[in-house]
Amino acid sequence: MATSFNEQFDQHGAWRREFALRLKLLSEWLKDHDLLDSAVEERLRRLEGQMRSDKVMVAFVAEFSRGKSELINAIFFAGYKRRIMPASAGRTTMCPTELGYDAEVPPCLRLLPIESRLHPQPLMEWRMVPEKWLRVDLDVNDPAQLAQAFEKVSEVIRVTVADAKALGFWHEDTPEDNPMAGPDGLVEVPKWRHALINIAHPLLKQGLVILDTPGLNAIGAEPELTVNLIPQAHAVVFILAADTGVTKSDLAIWREHLISEDQDSDSRLVVLNKIDTMWDALSTPAQVHAQIERQRAITAEILGLRQDQVIPVSGQKGLVAKVNNNADLLQASRLPALEQALAHGVLGQRQKILRSSVASNIHELKVESGRVLGIRRRDLAEQMVELKGLRGKNTSVIKHMRARIEQEQADFDASGAKIHAVRSVHLKLLREVFDLLGTATMKAEMHELTTALRQPGLKLGVRKAYAHTFDRLREGLRRAEKVSQEIQTMLTGTFRQLNAEYGFSLQAPREPDLARYERDLDLVERSHNQYLGVSNALKLAQPEFADRLVRALATRLRVIYESALGEVELWNKSAAAQLDAQLRERRRNFGRRLEAIERIQQAASGLDDRIAEIDSQEAALDMLDAKLAELTSHLTEIPVMPRAAPAEQQVLKTA
Ligand SMILES: Nc1nc2c(ncn2[C@@H]2O[C@H](COP(=O)(O)OP(=O)(O)OP(=O)(O)O)[C@@H](O)[C@H]2O)c(=O)[nH]1
Ligand SMILES: [Mg+2]
């Protein structure tokens, strides 16, 4: 039988845990053998953090009442044996609701009041001020209490048209989207802007984040949702209902939020829900099937997809079937096929990305720690040559040798100034890159964009203003790339020189691929462009709306730039750490050589002992080398389905 989404997600979690365990063992081993310099340590820390905090977000997007919340109940929460997320006829989920797990926070539901919209801060910033959210504690062992607490996401308040306008729910230009006014002239708007649910559900604990959204208007009213959360989700499930077919507003959502040329189709799932409405006692099963297939074909055609890209299910019957352990009904609901597609699309992708990032990091790690071993090996070889040369020599030769080593040491200490000069050039260039990618530059760009968007009568030039900003951002990134190349050239040159002069084995680490971030910028630009297009030109004329959009943009850009800066930092740290390591080892080496000479001066037998000692140290290095290769390759070779007992613990003990 096919594995369910839940099972596959469990396997993904197990894989990550296994990886974290092996990484920890490697790091302890490196530390025990004095192979952990600051760059390697930093790399390990990042890898560990990446694995630990890896989140997979699945967003459910559709017009109201298509069955998003019910489908979430059926796929993820059937284990509670009841309906957890509120799902009912008409509009139910009134605010975007994120379900996830954060161990630092007790199980709770947090709700951000809708009035927060009157302030300019984007959602991202509100997340940092928990005291502004209403908190409802949750009892995870009491599904009834959970369900009751979650009802809050359906709450509404009644406000005047003027207030609705200020909150972003009323637009004179698009009256068809406005909420209906009651006899008292008041209109209904959501009570909450955003909900965060924190529960220790097994899947959420492993990093799954589920985003349930309300229907069309509410999505449009929160730019952050459109330009940040949805485009960044690892999978988006778009839901249509078999009984309504593809309506005009379904199509508007599809066009505005879901079509994307370059995101792989695996991450977009289109679901034709409520197929049970076509189960008809008077038709034969074959007739029902044919009817569902027909609906599926029509849907696919309207959306421009292949028929097999539309997945027919009944979320509601799937939930009932799971709650009652009814295998036949589950089969008929066709829910397992959707879970399969979701698991494949989301987790397959995620694992591929993680694996390739891990592989390149582990490679660097191995090179870096391997280099330290190389230096030690070389030092031993030099000492060996020196000592063998002393065999049978008289005391004056030995004295002479000592003087030579001391001279070498003094010369080496004097070279400190040169190394210092290299460092200061390096730092200067680095500061340029940091400036180009730093917060101040970003702030200035966003300020300029805001000013441009505020120009009266700009309406149609909005895209242009965006295009300008993105052009400048790309230009800045390219300049950072150029300076990075300069740094690389400088490092390569000076390292080569130092290698020749002092017999070092420095090698400039590979520079980060900043072009990748240019592609990220393109993606962000495209998601904004898509949004700027069709229906929002009029909304954009309102300064608050434009402000909000720019702030949402800024939070997304910050993530990109922080990550680029992080890479640049690691790259430079790794270069500096290499130099430090070689200098340190070299100083130690002088010490060891002088010590050896001293011993030989004191006792005739010292020489042979020392040679034997070096022999055994060389053998120990060979073993370390082999062990390092073994431990690092273990990390990249973890099977998706981990074995029952990690064998490394035993292997390590023998080291
Ligand atoms: N017959 C049938 N009804 C369904 C199915 N899935 C959901 N429903 C019903 O459709 C109604 C709407 O479902 P919800 O899950 O609340 O829809 P939603 O998309 O979350 O809607 P909003 O929260 O308002 O955006 C509820 O009464 C559900 O019970 C299904 O597969 N078959
Ligand atoms: Mg809902």
Element (H, E) at 470: helix 462-502
Indicate whether residue 379 lines ligand 1 (CB < 6 A): no
Q: Of 78-92, 169-183, 430-444, which gets the smallest average pLDDT?
A: 169-183
CA distance 385 to 432: 46
Q: Which ligand minimizes its atom distance to the CA of 317?
A: 1
In the reported structure, the alpha carbon of residue 241 is separated from the centroid of ligand 1 by a whole-number distance in angstroms of 9
CB 194 within 8 A of CB 152: no
Q: Position of tokens 């760059």?
A: 39
Which residue's alpha carbon is nearest to atom 22 within ligand 1? 64
Indicate whether residue 254 lines ligand 1 (CB < 6 A): no
CA distance 537 to 544: 14
Give me the mean pLDDT over the 154-178 stretch.
85
CA distance 380 to 593: 10
Q: Is the confidence at residue 2, as pLDDT, over 60?
A: no
In the reported structure, the alpha carbon of residue 149 is separated from the centroid of ligand 2 by a whole-number distance in angstroms of 15
E strands, 50-151, are 56-61, 97-100, 108-113, 134-137
Which residue's alpha carbon is nearest to atom 25 within ligand 1? 64
- Of 61, 65, 240, 320, the residue with max ligand 1 atoms within 8 A of its CB, to mutate for a pocket test, comes to 65
Indicate whether residue 316 lines ligand 1 (CB < 6 A): yes
Higher pLDDT, 209 or 653: 209
Indicate whether residue 314 lines ligand 1 (CB < 6 A): yes
Q: Position of tokens 């130092």?
A: 498
pTM of the model: 0.77
Ligand 1 atom with the shortest distance to the CA of 89 = 27
Q: Is the confidence at residue 644, as pLDDT, over 60?
A: no
The number of beta carbons lying within 10 Å of the beta carbon of residue 284 is: 9
Indicate whether residue 632 lines ligand 1 (CB < 6 A): no
Q: What is the DSSP letter of 512?
A: P
CB 488 within 8 A of CB 512: no
Provide the Cα torsion 533, 536, 539, 542; round to 10°: -20
- Of 63, 73, 92, 257, the residue with max ligand 1 atoms within 8 A of its CB, to mutate for a pocket test, comes to 92
The DSSP string of 279-306 is --TTS-HHHHHHHHHHHHHHHHHHHT--
Q: Is the confidence at residue 48, as pLDDT, over 70?
A: yes
Residues, CB-to-ion distance under 5 Å, ligand 2: 68-69, 92-93
Q: Is the confidence at residue 1, as pLDDT, over 50?
A: no
Q: Is the confidence at residue 64, as pLDDT, over 60?
A: yes
Indicate whether residue 85 lines ligand 1 (CB < 6 A): no
Farthest CA pair distance, the chain: 113
Indicate whether residue 315 lines ligand 1 (CB < 6 A): yes
Q: Of 39-53, 105-119, 295-309, which gets the smallest average pLDDT?
A: 39-53
% of the chain surpassing 70 pLDDT: 92
Which residue's alpha carbon is nearest to atom 7 within ligand 1? 67
Contacts of 431 (CB under 8 A, 6+ apart): none
| pLDDT band at 217; cut points 50, 70, 90 | low
In the reported structure, the alpha carbon of residue 238 is separated from the centroid of ligand 2 by a whole-number distance in angstroms of 13
Indicate whether residue 60 lines ligand 1 (CB < 6 A): no
In the reported structure, the alpha carbon of residue 280 is separated from the centroid of ligand 1 by a whole-number distance in angstroms of 19
In the reported structure, the alpha carbon of residue 317 is separated from the centroid of ligand 2 by a whole-number distance in angstroms of 16
In the reported structure, the alpha carbon of residue 76 is separated from the centroid of ligand 2 by a whole-number distance in angstroms of 14
Q: Is the confidence at residue 86, as pLDDT, over 90?
A: yes
CA distance 76 to 99: 11
Which residue's alpha carbon is nearest to atom 2 within ligand 1? 274
In the reported structure, the alpha carbon of residue 89 is separated from the centroid of ligand 2 by a whole-number distance in angstroms of 10
Each residue of 583-626: pLDDT tens digit?
Answer: 888 888 888 888 888 877 776 666 778 888 888 888 988 888 88
In the reported structure, the alpha carbon of residue 295 is separated from the centroid of ligand 2 by a whole-number distance in angstroms of 23
Indicate whether residue 73 lines ligand 1 (CB < 6 A): no
At residue 282, the pLDDT reads: 85
Q: What is the mean pLDDT of the chain?
A: 84
Q: Is the confidence at residue 213, as pLDDT, over 80?
A: yes
| pLDDT band at 465; cut points 50, 70, 90 | confident
CB 639 within 8 A of CB 27: no
- CB-count exposure of residue 437 (10 Å: 0-12, 13-18, 19+): buried
In the reported structure, the alpha carbon of residue 504 is separated from the centroid of ligand 1 by a whole-number distance in angstroms of 69
Q: Is the confidence at residue 166, as pLDDT, over 90?
A: no
At residue 132, the pLDDT reads: 94
Q: Which ligand minimizes its atom distance to the CA of 62?
A: 1
Higher pLDDT, 420 or 195: 195
| pLDDT band at 317; cut points 50, 70, 90 | very high
| pLDDT band at 33; cut points 50, 70, 90 | confident
CA distance 440 to 54: 29
- Specify the 3-state DSSP secondary structure of 235: strand
- Specify the 3-state DSSP secondary structure of 418: helix
Radius of gyration of the chain (CA): 32
At residue 336, the pLDDT reads: 92
Higher pLDDT, 217 or 564: 564
Each residue of 488-510: pLDDT tens digit?
Answer: 999 999 899 888 888 788 888 88
- Specify the 3-state DSSP secondary structure of 613: helix
Indicate whether residue 93 lines ligand 1 (CB < 6 A): yes
In the reported structure, the alpha carbon of residue 70 is separated from the centroid of ligand 2 by a whole-number distance in angstroms of 7
CB 60 within 8 A of CB 257: no
Ligand 1 atom with the shortest distance to the CA of 214 = 25
